[in-house]
Amino acid sequence: MSDEIRVLILAVIQGVAEFLPISSSGHLVIGNELLKRLQGASVAEEGMTLNLVLHLGTLGSILVVYCRRLLQILTEMDWRLCSAIVMASVPAAIVGIGFKKQLEPLFVEPAVAGAGLLVTATLLILGQRLQSGKFTDRQLPWLVAFVVGCFQAVALVPGISRSGSTISGGLLSGMQRESAATFSFLIAIPAIGGAVLLDLRDWFKPGHVESMPIAWPTLLMGMIVSFVVGIVALKLLISFISRQRLHWFGYYCLAMGIAVLLWQACEGKLTI
């Protein structure tokens, strides 16, 4: 399998799973493991370059879809919402920076992704059933923002969906459906942007560019594909949330998680 086809497949997975609450990181781990069987290479062996480029694409998707909301926040100087976004970003920043080395080995373990998908399924089903819809993102108390941020920090584990956990966390904390989705993707901007900046440090290490196994045109193609697919997936998720169909993704994650764990058990990599 050529690099172009493999990057194309992973870019589509990233674009779809970054916004649909099914965990992009978990699906990339699973997809990469399957592709490795065909080609003998993995994201880990490529450093974090491909992961970085694909996340840049989906970050662009958020900026496009929510451009009007972002401009509104900036022009109206909504300090309450801005402070809530900062408050919600703190837990993930602490965990992401403080435990980066401990988290990285998990991104090559399909069993971890499978277990994480079960957690995602639980959060999505509970969030759908226990939502109360008391307030919007503009009325968000700082404590609730921090709680939603804790859900985002947990989602650093592959298989636990960032969008699924934060939207469910917002619903469980009393947010209205559309506001929970909006806030989830507003706090995704500093979360994804921060992760990109952390990975960018590796780009400046001596010999990094020369050692990259994937050509720049291929990486650029992957970023564009994840960007376009991400826009479609994000708009689709907003539609599902407005129609109260979030739990559908929970059932998918439940089935996928069980399938992955059974797969790993059959290969002797997991003891049940």
pLDDT at 120: 96
Mean pLDDT for the chain overall: 86
Average pLDDT over residues 258-266: 94
Q: What are phi and psi of 104, to 5 degrees?
A: -55, -40
Nearest-angstrom CA–CA distance, 191 and 197 = 10
First to last CA, the chain: 34
Q: How many CB atoms lie within 10 A of CB 46?
A: 18
pLDDT at 23: 92
Strand partners, 175: 135
Average pLDDT over residues 101-121: 92
pLDDT tens digits, one per residue of 50-74 = 777 888 899 999 999 999 988 988 8
Helices and strands counted in the chain (H then E) = 14, 0
pLDDT tens digits, one per residue of 125-139 = 998 888 877 888 778
